[in-house]
């Protein structure tokens, strides 16, 4: 039983503000979790805005160096991967970011991103191979290379862009996908088709997915386990359905109670004064 | 409530025109849309991704740049009586109404905060000229406003990249609402917030709106937010408005099959049945289906739907929908 990824008491401290008023922000404070190599799962991270979810994701991707603790990916300390091993690591751990609008440069055609991932991380050695890999990945998200080729990001809606972003992440055939709010920009129906796609990738390709979201309903629906974060700490964790059906921590209970539904009325939101 | 609406949209059409591989294409993202927004109301716009919501409100806000073109119709604000659309108004007149009369929270605008300016400086750049007062009073106003959005005043000394997505999104809402404008346009402004903060932010938007008697055009694909926040609701499908009415009425008795789908397809906690979403894909707006644009995905489609575009008809007081099944009495 080996870990695909293991977080050992990791933390991250930033300092922010002017020269005279520097503040230390403890964005992540000692988090532990582990995903097993031979047990692909969807691991949801939910919690307060500003609670350190994206910071955690950036540490896993090796973008931020942890201030304390260790992240081990397939036996290797992410922080100590030599330059030569970076590309191989990045092929195995692929991100899907919070916002489709910031994921793509408006001046670059969308197929460029797929081609680039296919050649840099996916082992494609010719245009035809790169195109085939791109098309295959796009088809997994309900698009095709024909539809995307030559188009710029602004020609697609947010939902379409997010599907391209997921396809791009699939091109290098990763083991772990880090999806930071991948569905927040898209409608309920597309949201369901994207999380169903995640479930399918888990079951069919044995991919593990760390799914950061504010959408409790899809976290409940698709994820196997989850953690709930607040102020840089995990306040509750466990099997997703168990935790969300019967939250124990007061913050989790508040979160569960704040979900809006079509039966909610104007009176249920209290104006702040 | 005054009888004259603050915004009247009439037969508005805006298309993307471009040449792709030598073939000219026209994406009819806003196709013949009409509705009114009254003073002192929150008008919600719903619809799936790529149905044209953003394009519609960009057109209303006058942000029309190639390849987007205004093809016809009007979108007239009461405070700009001489211009059929903001796009056709004099630049000086448009500058005069910004912030105080009209503010616009663009989709994804949290990512276009000036990366080189601290948040506090951005507030001074935009809001100080309109609010005036001493530096101390201004700072107190800004701090109090941020607190309503659950933001610590320390964000004022941060650069945008030092804030989380949800914090930046609240900063853009704060910027757009601090001058308490008469009309606020907001495109998916709460997508990056956790549900507790989202509830507070919606509460704040509503209390500002009620305090000031302002109007809000609020775009979101999230039907839970519409049910909670909006007074009226317009539903878009493939560049067209298919249903409009009081939010309460639309939720209680949706008349268009697409609206019914939107309301009933909401995933809920506790529900693990496999939800497949709507069959088929959103139509290609460069070549939309003839007749009713919804017919390839509609469970009620009849022969007439494949050829004849259904007209908007009254289905109740202030409630309109466009579907052949209604006129046939089949709904
Ligand atoms: N580069 C940075 N420099 C300084 N502070 C930072 C930086 N990145 C994040 N922070 C701070 O760390 C905290 C956690 O931010 P993070 O982006 O991880 O939150 P999050 O949980 O992803 O929130 P959201 O749900 O709003 O996206 C915040 O207080 C934020 O201001
Ligand atoms: N700059 C553009 N050029 C061509 N087509 C565009 C452009 N921007 C958006 N579109 C198209 O217009 C349609 C409506 O998009 P949009 O208004 O963003 O939808 P929504 O906001 O409802 O998700 C989509 O088909 C999209 O691909
Ligand atoms: S007009 Fe026909 S196809 Fe269109 S929504 Fe009504 S029944 Fe369905
Ligand atoms: Mg985040
Ligand atoms: Mg949009």
At residue A272, the pLDDT reads: 36
Interchain contact B191–A (C-beta under 8 A): yes
* Any atom of ligand 2 within 6 Å of the Cβ of B19: no
In the reported structure, the alpha carbon of residue B247 is separated from the centroid of ligand 4 by a whole-number distance in angstroms of: 31
Find the range with the poorest average confidence among A224-233, B227-236, B319-328: B319-328
pTM of the entire predicted model: 0.90
Residue with tokens 């000394």: B157
CA distance A30 to A10: 5
Find the range with the poorest average confidence among B56-60, B127-131, B254-258: B127-131
Interchain contact B40–A (C-beta under 8 A): no
What is the DSSP secondary-structure string of A236-264? EEEEHHHHHHS--SHHHHHHHHT---TT-
ipTM: 0.87
- How would residue A228 be classed by pLDDT, with cut points 50, 70 and 90? very high
A114-151 pLDDT tens trace? 999 999 888 889 999 999 999 999 988 778 999 899 98
What is the DSSP secondary-structure string of B219-263? E-S-HHHHHHH-SEEEEEETTEEEEEEEHHHHHHS--SHHHHHHH
* Any atom of ligand 2 within 6 Å of the Cβ of A203: no
Cα Rg of chain A (Å, integer): 19
Q: With pLDDT > 90 as the criterion, what percentage of chain A qualifies? A: 62
* Closest C-alpha to B10, from B31, B39, B33, B44: B33
CA distance B3 to A21: 53
The first and second tokens of residue B140, run together, are 């107190």
CA distance B99 to B123: 12
The phi, psi pair for B76, rounded to 5°, reads -105, 130
CA distance B15 to B202: 32
CA distance B296 to B289: 8
Q: What are the angstrom distances between the C-alpha of A27 and each of A64, A95, B194?
A: 12, 20, 17
Residue A70 exposed, middle or buried by CB count within 10 Å (0-12, 13-18, 19+):
middle
Looking at the partner chain, which of B157, B221, B269 has a beta carbon nearest the beta carbon of A217?
A: B269
A66-94 pLDDT tens trace? 999 999 999 999 999 998 888 899 999 99
Q: Would you give the DSSP letter of residue B98?
A: B
The first and second tokens of residue B193, run together, are 């917030």
Interface touch A269/B229, C-beta < 8 Å? yes
Closest ligand 1 atom, CA of A214? 25
At residue A205, the pLDDT reads: 84
Q: Is the dihedral of CA B180, B185, B190, B192 positive or negative?
A: negative
Question: What residues are paired with B313 via a beta bridge?
Answer: B321
- How would residue A19 be classed by pLDDT, with cut points 50, 70 and 90? low
Which residues touch B282 (CB under 8 Å, ≥6 apart)? Answer: B48, B49, B50, B51, B238
Residue A132 exposed, middle or buried by CB count within 10 Å (0-12, 13-18, 19+):
middle
Q: Cβ < 6 Å from ligand 1: which residues?
A: A 14, 16, 25, 27, 49-55; B 161-167, 192
* Closest C-alpha to A208, from A70, A88, A89, A39: A39
Q: Are A219 and A188 in contact (CB under 8 A)?
A: no
Q: Is the dihedral of CA A169, A154, A183, A46 positive or negative?
A: positive
Task: Count the helix, strand and coil residues of chain B and give each as a percent rounded to the nearest 5.
Answer: 35, 25, 40
Residue of chain B with shortest Cα separation from A223? B272
Interchain contact B286–A (C-beta under 8 A): no
**Average pLDDT of every residue of chain A:** 88
Interface touch A192/B267, C-beta < 8 Å? yes
Mean pLDDT of the A195-213 span: 91
CA distance B112 to B81: 31
**Average pLDDT of every residue of chain B:** 90
The first and second tokens of residue B307, run together, are 């050829």
In the reported structure, the alpha carbon of residue B55 is separated from the centroid of ligand 2 by a whole-number distance in angstroms of: 6
Q: What are the angstrom distances between the C-alpha of A254 and each of A222, B36, B95?
A: 21, 37, 43
* Any atom of ligand 3 within 6 Å of the Cβ of B304: no
B4-36 pLDDT tens trace? 899 999 999 999 887 665 667 788 999 999 999
Rounded (10°) angle between helices A127-140 and A158-170: 120
Residue with tokens 């007081």: B317
Q: Are B235 and B251 in contact (CB under 8 A)?
A: no
User: Which protein residue's CA is at the shortest distance from atom 4 of ligand 2?
Assistant: A155
* B231 vs A192 pLDDT, higher one: B231
* Any atom of ligand 2 within 6 Å of the Cβ of A200: no
CA dihedral B186, B187, B192, B198 (to 10 degrees): 40
Q: B154-158, long-range: CB within 8 Å, 24+ apart, which pairs?
A: B154/A16, B154/A17, B154/A23, B155/B119, B156/B118, B156/B119, B156/B120, B156/B123, B157/A16, B157/A17, B157/A18, B157/A21, B157/B118, B157/B119, B157/B120, B158/A16, B158/A17, B158/B118, B158/B119
């Amino acid at each position: 039983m080996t870990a695909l990824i293991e977080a050992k008491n990791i933390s991250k401290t930033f300092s922010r503000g002017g020269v005279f008023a520097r503040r230390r922000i403890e964005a992540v404070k000692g988090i532990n979790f582990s995903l097993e190599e031979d047990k692909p799962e969807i691991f949801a991270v939910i919690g307060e805005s500003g609670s350190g979810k994206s910071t955690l994701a950036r540490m896993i991707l090796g973008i931020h160096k942890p201030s304390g603790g260790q992240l081990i990916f397939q036996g290797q300390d992410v922080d100590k991967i030599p330059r030569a091993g970076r590309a191989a690591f990045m092929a195995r751990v692929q991100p899907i970011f919070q916002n489709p609008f910031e994921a793509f440069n408006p001046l670059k055609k969308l197929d460029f991103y797929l081609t680039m991932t296919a050649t840099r991380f996916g082992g494609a050695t010719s245009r035809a191979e790169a195109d085939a890999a791109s098309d295959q990945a796009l088809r997994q998200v309900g698009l095709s290379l024909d539809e995307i080729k030559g188009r710029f990001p602004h020609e697609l809606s947010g939902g379409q862009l997010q599907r391209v972003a997921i396809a791009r992440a699939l091109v290098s055939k990763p083991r772990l996908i880090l999806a930071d709010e991948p569905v927040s920009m898209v409608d309920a129906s597309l949201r369901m088709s994207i999380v169903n796609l995640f479930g399918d990738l888990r079951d069919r390709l044995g991919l593990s997915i760390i799914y950061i979201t504010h959408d409790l309903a899809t976290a409940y629906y698709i994820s196997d386990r989850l953690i709930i974060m607040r102020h840089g700490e995990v306040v509750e964790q466990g099997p997703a359905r168990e935790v969300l059906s019967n939250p124990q921590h007061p913050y989790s209970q508040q979160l569960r109670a704040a979900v809006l539904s079509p039966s909610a009325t104007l009176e249920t939101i209290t104006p702040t004064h | 409530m005054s009888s004259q609406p603050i915004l009247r949209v009439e037969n508005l059409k805006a298309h993307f025109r471009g040449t792709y591989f030598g073939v000219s294409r026209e994406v009819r993202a806003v196709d013949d849309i009409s509705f009114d927004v009254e003073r002192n109301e929150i008008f919600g716009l719903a619809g799936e991704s790529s149905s044209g919501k953003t394009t519609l409100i960009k057109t209303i806000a006058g942000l029309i740049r190639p390849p987007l073109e205004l093809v016809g119709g009007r979108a007239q604000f009461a405070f700009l009586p001489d211009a059929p659309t903001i796009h056709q108004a004099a630049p000086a007149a448009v500058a005069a109404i910004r912030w105080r009369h009209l503010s616009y929270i663009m989709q994804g605008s949290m990512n276009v905060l000036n990366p080189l300016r601290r948040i506090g400086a951005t507030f001074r750049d935009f809001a100080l000229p309109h609010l005036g007062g001493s530096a101390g009073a201004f700072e107190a106003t800004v701090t109090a406003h941020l607190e309503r959005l659950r933001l610590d005043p320390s964000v004022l000394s941060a650069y945008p990249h030092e804030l989380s997505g949800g914090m930046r999104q609240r900063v853009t809402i704060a910027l757009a609402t601090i001058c308490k404008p008469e009309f606020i346009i907001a495109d998916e402004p709460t997508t990056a917030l956790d549900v507790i903060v989202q509830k507070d932010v919606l509460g704040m938007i509503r209390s500002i709106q009620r305090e000031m008697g302002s109007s809000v055009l609020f775009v979101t694909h999230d039907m839970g937010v519409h049910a909670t926040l909006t007074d009226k609701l317009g539903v878009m499908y493939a560049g067209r408005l298919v249903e409009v009415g009081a939010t309460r009425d639309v939720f209680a008795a949706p008349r268009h099959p697409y609206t019914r789908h939107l309301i009933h397809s909401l995933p809920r906690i506790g529900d693990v049945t496999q939800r497949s979403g709507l069959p088929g894909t959103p139509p290609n707006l460069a070549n939309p289906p003839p007749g009713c644009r919804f017919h390839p995905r509609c469970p009620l489609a009849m022969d007439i739907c494949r050829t004849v575009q259904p007209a908007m008809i009254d289905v109740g007081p202030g409630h309109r929908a466009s579907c052949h099944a209604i006129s046939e009495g089949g709904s």
